[in-house]
Amino acid sequence: MADIEAGKVAHVIVKDMSRAGRDYLQTGFYTEVFFRQHGVHFVAIANGVDSDDQNSNEFAPFLNIMNEWYLRDLSRKQKTAIRVKGESGKPTTNCAIYGYKKDPENKYHWLIDEEAAAVVRRIFQLTIEGKGPYDIARILFDDKIDTPAVYFGKQNKGVWKSKEEFPNPYNWSGYIVGQILSKPEYMGHTVNFRSHKQSYKDKNAVMNPKEDWLIFENTHEAIVDAETWELAQKLRKTPRRHDTLGEANPLTGLVFCADCGAKMMNHRSRGGTENNPYPSDFYDCSTYTLAHQKRTHACSGHYIRSKVLRELILETIRAASTFAISDRDAFLEKVRSASQLRQAEAAKDAKRKLSKDKKRIAELDTIIKKLYESFAVGRITDERFDSLLAEYEAEQKALTASVSEMETQMSAFAEDTDRAKQFLELAKKYTDFSELTTPMINEFIEKIIVHAPEKIDGDRVQEVEIHLRFIGRFELPVTELSEEEIKRQEFLKKERIRSRERYQKLKSGERIVGVPVTLTCKCCGQEFASKRTNTLFCGPNCRAKFYRQEAAESRSRECTCENCGKEFITTRSDVKYCSDDCRYAAQIKRQVARKKALREAKLEPAVPEKETKTA
């Protein structure tokens, strides 16, 4: 087109009109307007179209329409073939996704590509460890792992199959990692009709809603299991912000208030040490915190320290896992009995509500039927009929969905035994429960519910519900305490009572034996803490210094300085001067006097007479 506009082309010759184009509007524009404006001679040989012969152009518009109709019909047939292929469970993609390869014996079956599958497994594992998509992309970039496009390009596949050099082969991004994490194909499923094209003229794909996806389960070998994939989706839905130390809180989105149901808010303060980077680290109800900021009141604090919460989580995971591994049959029976109890409690309210909703659905059917009768005889207008019908149908649709959900929930209790076995397999993965790690939190914890604290016998008691994945809230069988454990519990109770009494005495200002008090050092004057009220010094150095000074004062006497005549106190008998300056000044005076005497005499020292005669 640029050459035509520049006047370099005089003739355009095509085999037939379809080679000029199948869009009848654009083809007509070029043949009827554009070529004539630029003086170009157009010829379509097979159709006998010649721009210089006006009689040959009469049927050209109809030819363009037929060409476009043929293309539209061909596109419709291709869509039908793809729809039939997709509905039969065969993949509609041209190539396998990253991590798989096509089976040489069956092009519709995928095999695992171990090299790429190892990267996919690593991405899911890093997600479970608490890493975000951009953190994972940075790790893969540092390890120099090829991106999916480069990996396929080196195998002569994909959009870069014809390239010989690949710029930035390790340029992973958070978007690429997110796309890998979101694909159900890695569970062994085939997903068809994920996207579509609005027209055969438009090459841009439009994503379909997930409700329109067609998923066929277990059509090929899975790279990750369903539990890992579901856990990764759950973690991705909960954004985790990094603090000033570059760390994300692994409990984000898991801790909830028992009263209002809101998420608990984590508060951390900076300025700690290397071993304790957060001097203050606790949770409280977000509803309470936000209301307090607005100077209003809502809910309550539900304060709990993060250290205490993590210890409870670790102890719960350790106890449940140990019990499940050590006594498998008792564990399964415990879960089954707890499931039956929950089912019985939930069934009371669910059955009542289910019966009420079904009755209302039947009533709505009768109401809608009478509404049609009233509309048919002309008792209500069209607008009123449409408004009432839409309202009743919306209510009926919501009730039907609620009934279906309750029926599914009631039938889900039968699967508790299978979920208990899944928890048992998860517990076997871990052999060390000495420290709570981020993967342990993500794989074991479903949610944590914190209740408001209360006073019982003077003690602050706070209930914390820890719900584990697959089995929910699990309570260990209660065992009878031994005599030693009973004695220890009584001892701890007495210690708590004694601690409260001491606190009350301190609060009232009473003196308590064994509690440090603040005193002032007799030597240096600094304040120090001591459990004894008669302590005089803050340390042994001050004690020795004070007694040395006291002994020196007992031996002191008054003297007069021979240089300045000032009186001073000293403990030595041979001291003549009050300071070093006076001593130096007296020495200089003696030297000056000696030199002056020598100048006045102008004589050398006299030689003895006996020595002179001998010489």
122, 51: one domain: no
Strand-strand pairing, 195-197 and 100-103 = unpaired
Strand arrangement, sheet containing 304-305? 264-268, 281-285, 304-305
Q: How long, in residues, is the chain?
A: 615
The better pLDDT of the pair 118, 409 is held by 118
Same domain, 111 and 163: yes
Residue 255 lies in a domain: no
Do 73 and 43 belong to one domain?
A: yes
Domain end marker among 62, 83, 104: 83
Mean model confidence pLDDT for the chain? 83
pLDDT in tens, 448-458: 999 988 877 77
* Domain-embedded: residue 265: no
The pLDDT confidence band at residue 31, using thresholds 50, 70 and 90, is: confident
Give φ, ψ of 268 to 5 degrees.
-130, 145
In this prediction, residues 324-351 reach a mean pLDDT of 74
Say if residue 70 is in the same domain as residue 107.
no
61-118: pLDDT as tens digits: 888 888 888 888 888 888 888 888 888 888 988 889 999 999 999 989 999 999 999 9
pLDDT in tens, 201-243: 777 888 888 888 899 999 999 999 998 999 999 888 887 777 6
Let me know whether 63 and 93 are in one domain: no
pLDDT grade, residue 138 (50/70/90)?
very high
Q: Can you give 265-289 as a three-state secondary structure string?
A: EEEECCCCCCCCCCCCEEEEEHHHH
- Within a domain: 354: yes
Split at pLDDT 50, 70, 90, the class of 189 is: very high
Query: Which of 211, 237, 263 finishes a domain?
Result: 237
**Same structural domain, 469 and 336:** yes
When mean pLDDT is compared across 23-27, 119-123, 499-503, 572-576, the lowest value belongs to: 499-503
Structure token pair of residue 45: 């040989």
Domain-located, residue 287: no
Tokens of 16: 């037939």
> Has residue 314 been placed in a domain?
no
Residue 297 makes CB contacts below 8 A (sequence gap 6+) with 291
Q: What is the number of structural domains in the chain?
A: 6
Q: Please check whether residues 390 and 462 belong to one and the same domain.
A: yes
CA nearest to 444, candidates 474, 406, 400, 464 = 474
Is the same domain home to 64 and 136? no
Shared domain for 15 and 144, answered yes or no, is no
Residues 119 and 219 in one domain: yes
CB atoms within 10 A of CB 158: 17
Q: Write the pLDDT tens digit of every residue in 468-515.
A: 988 888 877 666 667 887 888 788 778 877 777 776 776 676 666 666
pLDDT at 610: 45
Q: What is the pTM of this model?
A: 0.62
90 with 108: CB under 8 angstroms? yes
Beta bridge pairs of residue 472: 468
pLDDT of residue 513: 62
The SS3 of residue 459 is: strand
- Please classify residue 83 by burial: count the beta carbons closer than 10 Å to its beta carbon, then call 0-12 exposed, 13-18 middle and 19+ buried: middle
For 165, the 3-state DSSP assignment is coil
Q: Give the contacts of 216 (CB within 8 A, at least 6 positions apart).
A: 89, 189, 190, 192
Tell me how crowded residue 594 is: count the other CB atoms within 10 A of its CB: 9
Asked if 180 and 74 sit in the same domain, the reply is no
Q: 489 is in which domain, residue-wise?
A: 480-511
Three-point CA angle 78, 82, 88, nearest 5° = 150
Please check whether residues 332 and 443 belong to one and the same domain. Answer: yes
Question: For 223-274, where are the E strands, in sequence order?
Answer: 255-257, 264-268
pLDDT in tens, 594-611: 888 888 776 555 445 444
Domain boundary among 186, 208, 237: 237
Instruction: Give percent above pLDDT 70 in the chain.
Output: 90
Q: Quick one: tokens of 190?
A: 């085939």
